[in-house]
Structure 1
Amino acid sequence: MIVGGSSPERVTRLVISEGVTINYLDIRISAGFPSPALDFSENDIDLIRELGLDKPSVYIMRVDGNSMEGKDIYIPNGAFISVDRSIKAVAGHVVLAILNQEFTIKTLLRKNGRYVLQPENPDFKPIIVSGDDELIIWGVVDVVFYRVGRKL
């Protein structure tokens, strides 16, 4: 068994923004069955561009609350999200909505001709938008950043 270390020829220093660099190990990591195939290589990535964070329509925000901590979609309390205002929201998208002048993140659904803001956490109830409510879909959540196994 080998513990630690990495192949130095596979490590690249990447500049992700002016004055910010990270180490990039150019191998694909299997999240299913381990693969001995390490011959796929990608030498350069631009995380800002790859994640769409360089677009003027994208905003970074921090999540406060755990209504989106679900089984299929998991956006934990304290996570950072990127919200893209240029994406047209459709049913099934996770959106940043303004409901009656309050921001919320929920999955946008349409049921019986009404919009529903669906939390992913089963401890929370869906919000059925009525004709008296003011609903603005501010943008679509595109990327989620959070630390695994540590509190944010």
Structure 2
Amino acid sequence: MPIIVSPNLPVNAVRVSLHPPHFSLPLYGGKVSAAQSRWASAAQDYMDDDFGVLGGRLDLNVRFVTNPPSTFVMPVDGDSMIKAGLFPGTIAIIDKNADAKSGSIVVVWYGDKYIVKRLYIKGNIVKLRSEHPKIREYPPILFKGDDELVIWGVVKHGINTY
């Protein structure tokens, strides 16, 4: 089963800057709980260096773009990957040089468009699966034998706006 990495650039993909300006945000310690509410300790309100950034600041380029020459961003369209955190309008950060492994979220050329799915590989069988609560409405795409799968890149992050 041939798996090909595509050199083509989708029309709505944007390459990240190879020399972005440095812009960092203050990084505060403690965590934001998504569990039931409780009073936070005043000691939690301090600058944190957990991300390895000097002075408790986070540079989003350093955090999200590990390989600038092969990193692109594309908006997500559709709802088939919402359980993976990719909603309509999510900005997907994609690395074309990252290794696509079983379990990776990949962008592939399928039919006449680019799609984003979870990749599963078992022997000679490759599946692309959606991640949606109504999974039966989104059947897997199966590749086997001499079928050709064209992988464009691996989704490394998703940025959502609320």
CA shift digits 1:31-89 (9 cap, x unpaired): 2565524245242221111111661110000011111012xx12101110100012110
Number of residue pairs matched by the alignment: 129
1:107 paired with 2:118, answer yes
Is contact 2:24–2:60 with CA below 8 Å preserved after alignment?
A: no
Is contact 2:130–2:139 with CA below 8 Å preserved after alignment?
A: yes
CA shift digits 1:71-127 (9 cap, x unpaired): xx1210111010001211000000011124521100001246211110001131111
After TM superposition, the score normalised by the length of structure 2 is 0.67
After TM superposition, the score normalised by the length of structure 1 is 0.71
The equivalent residue for 1:26 is: 28
1:64 paired with 2:66, answer no
Structure 1: runs of 5+ lacking an equivalent: 1-16
Is contact 1:63–1:76 with CA below 8 Å preserved after alignment?
A: yes
What is the CA–CA distance in structure 2 between the aligned matches of 1:23 and 1:40, rounded to whole Å? 11
Structure 2: runs of 5+ lacking an equivalent: 1-19, 50-55
The equivalent residue for 2:62 is: 49
The equivalent residue for 2:91 is: 80
The equivalent residue for 2:128 is: 117
Letter in 2 for 1:50: R
Identical aligned residues as a percent: 26
Letter in 1 for 2:48: S
What is the CA–CA distance in structure 1 between the aligned matches of 2:74 and 2:34, rounded to whole Å? 31
What is the CA–CA distance in structure 1 between the aligned matches of 2:67 and 2:154, rounded to whole Å? 16
Name the structure, 1 or 2, with higher relative contact order (CA <8 Å, separation 6+): 2
The equivalent residue for 1:135 is: 149
Which moves more between the two structures, 88-97 or 134-143?
134-143
